[in-house]
Structure 1
């Protein structure tokens, strides 16, 4: 297991060595507070929801201005545009995005009243950078059990097919852990794995978002994105959540924040908000 400043990155062998319950757990919620019953049905069927409006144009413009500054600092430190991860542990404004009430309300309708926010990672494709995200399931990277985690994808810039918006195979979340092969990062994949022939697992769907909108997807959903071939940046912030009854191995629980309800402090001790 590799550990860096505020970031715990378990290797694949470490994750595989832990016992995990892998399989989609449908949402049972007869009285959702924000989502509609039809959206709950869509979630269970597709493993995906979106677009959902969260931030208005002024609010997302302020978020974008903050990210522009953060990205400039990242470049000045010699890092790339994909390296800003576990950002809620380092940057108070990102913590505030993770704990945003409108976002948490949507997530709570899917996960229940006791919710942990544990991740925040910027995926920023610069104009023409040539990098893609191959087909994968998030759960293959996360030492969590059972597989109930979700990702909120917040569009900081407008995202469409031209600049490499996320694509999904709706329904693929029902197939458990899907076999994947290693991928060479030097070949342009941001990640280190890829699932071949994903079309056998679901229905392909582009998921364009306007800046300020979010989507939500299951940790078992096959998803990826093509390279940005436009002259526009495409930045999204992934915010990760799970119910408080999920168990985290390999120190992963140290990243968790109780964003709704309560949690056993022995399982999720609660990371503090950064000072700045």
Structure 2
């Protein structure tokens, strides 16, 4: 089913992003938010540690049926299919949770820098489960920045940075050009893997909760020596570049935890072997 209009698809191609799009109702978003708060409240506030210790906030769709359902939302997949075709994998997913008053922020970066995927056809869907606006620290994105290609990044050790290594674009960024990605609960945005984006601290009166889902067409491969895993969520995988990941039968059941640990261990091994993907493209 076609989800994006011609103008929306054109905006993605030209600007590197499109929003707002409707994933599900505000009531469904509230239900997902409750599931997040029930299952992930005790997880580390950063999406992953520098040591690679598995976090519930990374790839939660391998641990919890609610998250496995969310990444398979038909309206999201319809929009992604309009951009990359009908055979779709989930490569990675991160739960972004900024508590109200939190100083945590995300530095200027490109998603593709440390993922090691080729070609650059990865699409990030950012799904809002609470209000995401400038006060709560929404994503800000630089129009047309995906046209600059892969940019050099550097690691920064700062406890307020929500990326695992504080990976930051080294070039000078004109933040005044950035567009705030304002979303209501149940809405989502799509952005290109090379689009430069960031987010500020949450100065609002509610937590900002959203999930970033990395979708790739099955033809995309990982360029490093580590064989990684991914989840087929639509179509068929005739390439087999990734080992398939099963869905969890129940919250944190033993098989799901083992799959999650294995997937994360591979991902962190790949990250160590290819410290900066700017050198690999």
TM-score normalised according to structure 2 size: 0.80
Secondary structure of the residue that 1:60 maps to in structure 2? helix
Alignment of 1:1-276 (within 5 A): 33-74=2-43, 79-80=44-45, 82-83=47-48, 84-186=57-159, 188-191=160-163, 192-195=166-169, 196-199=171-174, 203-248=177-222, 249-251=224-226, 253-254=228-229, 256-264=230-238, 266-276=240-250
Measured after TM superposition, the shift of residue 212 of structure 1 is 0.5
Measured after TM superposition, the shift of residue 265 of structure 1 is 5.9
Contact 1:81 1:125 in 2 (8 A): no
1:189/1:73 CA distance change after superposition, 3 Å = closer
In the aligned structure 2, how far is the partner of 1:81 from the partner of 1:59? 25
1:21-67: per-residue Cα shift (whole Å, max 9, x none)?
Answer: xxxxxxxxxxx812111111111111101010111122111111111
Give unmatched runs, 5+ long, in structure 1.
1-31
Measured after TM superposition, the shift of residue 147 of structure 1 is 1.1
Contact 2:23 2:73 in 1 (8 A): no
Contact 2:22 2:75 in 1 (8 A): no
Give unmatched runs, 5+ long, in structure 2.
49-56, 251-281
1:234-264: per-residue Cα shift (whole Å, max 9, x none)?
Answer: 011011100110012454631x111121113
Measured after TM superposition, the shift of residue 169 of structure 1 is 0.1
Secondary structure of the residue that 2:91 maps to in structure 1? strand
Secondary structure of the residue that 1:178 maps to in structure 2? coil
Secondary structure of the residue that 2:95 maps to in structure 1? strand
